[in-house]
Structure 1
Amino acid sequence: MSQPREIVPGATYLITRRVLRRHHLLRPDAAINQLLVYVLAVSTRRYDIKVHALCAMSTHLHLVVTDTNGVLPRFLQFFHRIVALGTKVLRQWEGPVWDHEATSVVRLLTRAAVVEKIAYVLANPVSAGLVRHAREWPGIKADTSELGRGLLRATRPAAYLDPENPLWPDEVTLPLSLPPGIARDSAERFRDDVAAELELLEAQAHAEVQQQRRPCLGADRASRVSPYERATSFEALRGRNPTFAVGREQGDAWRIAGAAVRAFRASYREALERWRAGIRDAVFPSGTWWMRMLHGVNVTGTALTS
């Protein structure tokens, strides 16, 4: 049984979704880039999700977003479904697109965590030995200079989406927003902090590549790899999938956050046991999502937007 997850309006997350068996189905070519930007723009507008950073690798997708209204599961379901269906058409692919493992959703609780995870997302192509610098990656991404002010555009892909359906406009835009708590007058400092962290990660990746004597693949070759091939680099399976991150050197923040997660889970399970015993007026903790959506259970606090 999976752990219950607290869904909170206004929370910021690092989201990671992996392609089935590490196939290169999201290889960064023009058609896939167009599909990803378009579907992400439509999905985020539909559910009022704010995008802060993103990077689409050939085998997985990273997003850093804020869930304004506390509807993250709805957004993920819609976005991942449409991307999968469009990818199946573009790649003439039979079967699932996404890995069977659950989407990784890590709540970012501090400014330090947001800075570190955005830099981590942007550094992914460098860490994988695909390009020397993050800005060279040909897939969809955010450069540090675009954080909080960039704008991605895409026209409706010809694959899968019905032009007669008003849900799919001819053209969409995807703004890159500042994370909550980052004021406009401190945006440049925020971008500088992310750039410094990214520079550190790139330097670490360069040292590792040099030590292992691995050649850098390069943007051009990364764009031409077969989408049906699988990544062969080592990747640990079923590793830790954290619920939250607080960043380095944040004092007691990790301990406090861990205690809050344990308290939510304990309260949730106590209410669930009562509900299973037939006590239909059992009250679940604020942040309960699935039981409220599926069964309409009572939840403490203000009701979330469905």
Structure 2
Amino acid sequence: MGTILASVRGMTRRRIVEPGMIWALSRRTTRRHFILNPDEARQMEQAYWYCLGHAAQLHGVAVHAGCLMSTHSHEVITDVRGELSLFLQTFHRHLALCAKAIRGWPGEVFDKESTGAHELLTPETTIESLAYLIANPVEAMAVRYARDWPGAQTLPRDIGSRVVKVRRPPHYFDPTKPKWPEVIELPLQMPTALELDYGTELAQERIAQRVKEREHRAWQESKRTGISFVGPRRVLRQAHTKRARSYEVFGSLNPQFAAAGHRGAATEAVKRLRAFNAQYDEALAAWTSGKRTVLFPRGTWWMRVHHGARCGPAP
């Protein structure tokens, strides 16, 4: 019993995980090293799409967009089967091992404390998150236009139309094992809510407009500060041992959901999370006292998967 309680307390913070939830994801490299920086041979781009596509197929995840920056990755996905935690574990583990092989990196690739995952509550929030992902290389002052990023990237027109076809990287993956197919195809799907509300073309246009707005703000910031864009050629020449120097507040917030200003959706999400935590606390107390028939709230992942706990609505 003590071992179970210790493992529960030692895990990452609670997260409601249910089928059909749409998530914005990110993961940062250890000490913000440029381990994931694009390269002329496009090896990191190949590894990224292969690992993402493999994990998505394995865990029933619909990928809407992905972008691999020098120090971090961004994805927007729908967790169709409710396997977010397993998906993240598979994706990040294989990407890290592949990056280590490509770079000859001796230590950890990802910062253990830096995984970001927040639920997108509304279609408008999804549009904003997709635009943020696409414009990230511009807002990071790497390139002037999102389309100029020389690494793995998604553009507005890709969402709902592009199928990424990627060959198995020569690093890390054993070609003799059938679990590593020679080619993986990863469709970048339009989120269902956007497809229903706008259709593919109009949704792409709305995302593209938000990307342009972000690009314009980045250009204005460049003029104001005198900081120039790095440019794609210089990006490719950056050493993977380099570290990001931009100021960052230690322990900055990692929200669990985003509502893009929709107060009603945010209020409901807060209520839901509070109710979830209250039922979870009560169930965990009963479990650790030996009551194995207690119901954990719907959306519980760790206790259900690792300890066989039952889940259901609050009594």
Superposed displacement of residue 206, structure 1: 1.1
Q: Could you tell me which amino acid in structure 2 is paired with residue 110 of structure 1? A: T
The equivalent position to 2:281 in structure 1, one of 255, 266, 269, is: 269
The aligned residue for residue 43 of structure 1 is: 55
Superposed displacement of residue 251, structure 1: 3.9
Q: Does residue 23 of structure 2 align to residue 25 of structure 1?
A: no
Q: Given the superposition, is the C-alpha separation of residues 102 and 132 from structure 1 closer, same or farther in structure 2, using an over 3 Å criterion?
A: closer
Superposed displacement of residue 186, structure 1: 1.3
The aligned residue for residue 103 of structure 2 is: 91
**d(CA) in 2 for partners of 1:251 and 1:157?**
45
The aligned residue for residue 195 of structure 2 is: 183
DSSP 3-state at the match of 1:182: helix
The aligned residue for residue 149 of structure 1 is: 161
DSSP 3-state at the match of 1:181: helix
The aligned residue for residue 237 of structure 2 is: 224
**d(CA) in 2 for partners of 1:93 and 1:253?**
43
The aligned residue for residue 221 of structure 2 is: 208
Alignment of 1:99-114 (within 5 A): 99-114=111-126
Superposed displacement of residue 50, structure 1: 0.5
Please, what TM-score do these two structures have when normalized by structure 1?
0.95
Alignment of 1:236-247 (within 5 A): 236-247=249-260
Q: Does residue 271 of structure 2 align to residue 253 of structure 1?
A: no
Q: Could you tell me which amino acid in structure 2 is paired with residue 297 of structure 1? A: A
The aligned residue for residue 13 of structure 1 is: 23
The aligned residue for residue 308 of structure 2 is: 296
**d(CA) in 1 for partners of 2:206 and 2:277?**
34
**d(CA) in 1 for partners of 2:21 and 2:230?**
36
Instruction: Give the conservation status (yes or no) of the 8 Å contact 1:3–1:265.
Output: no
The aligned residue for residue 304 of structure 1 is: none
Q: Does residue 133 of structure 2 align to residue 121 of structure 1?
A: yes
DSSP 3-state at the match of 2:52: helix
The aligned residue for residue 138 of structure 1 is: 150
DSSP 3-state at the match of 2:199: helix
Superposed displacement of residue 102, structure 1: 4.2
Instruction: Give the conservation status (yes or no) of the 8 Å contact 2:28–2:114.
Output: no
Superposed displacement of residue 88, structure 1: 0.6
1:89-145 Cα offsets, whole Å, 9 max, x none, are 100011100012141110001001100000001111000101001011011111111
DSSP 3-state at the match of 1:52: strand
1:23-74 Cα offsets, whole Å, 9 max, x none, are 0010112111111111111111111111101111000000000010000111
Specify every segment of 5 or more residues in structure 1 that has no aligned partner in the other structure, as ranges. 302-306
Superposed displacement of residue 221, structure 1: 0.7
Superposed displacement of residue 85, structure 1: 0.6
The aligned residue for residue 285 of structure 1 is: 297
* Corresponding residue pairs, total: 300
DSSP 3-state at the match of 1:252: helix
**d(CA) in 2 for partners of 1:102 and 1:122?**
20
The aligned residue for residue 233 of structure 1 is: 246
Specify every segment of 5 or more residues in structure 2 that has no aligned partner in the other structure, as ranges. 1-8
Superposed displacement of residue 173, structure 1: 1.3
Instruction: Give the conservation status (yes or no) of the 8 Å contact 2:66–2:154.
Output: yes
RMSD of the alignment, in Å?
A: 1.2
Q: Does residue 87 of structure 2 align to residue 75 of structure 1?
A: yes
Please, what TM-score do these two structures have when normalized by structure 2?
0.93
Instruction: Give the conservation status (yes or no) of the 8 Å contact 2:174–2:180.
Output: yes
Alignment of 1:46-65 (within 5 A): 46-65=58-77
**d(CA) in 2 for partners of 1:3 and 1:101?**
11
Instruction: Give the conservation status (yes or no) of the 8 Å contact 1:163–1:170.
Output: yes
Instruction: Give the conservation status (yes or no) of the 8 Å contact 2:34–2:70.
Output: yes
The aligned residue for residue 3 of structure 2 is: none
DSSP 3-state at the match of 1:271: helix
Instruction: Give the conservation status (yes or no) of the 8 Å contact 2:125–2:259.
Output: yes
1:159-194 Cα offsets, whole Å, 9 max, x none, are 111000001111111110011223377111111111
Instruction: Give the conservation status (yes or no) of the 8 Å contact 1:4–1:268.
Output: no
Q: Does residue 211 of structure 2 align to residue 198 of structure 1?
A: yes
**d(CA) in 2 for partners of 1:295 and 1:231?**
40
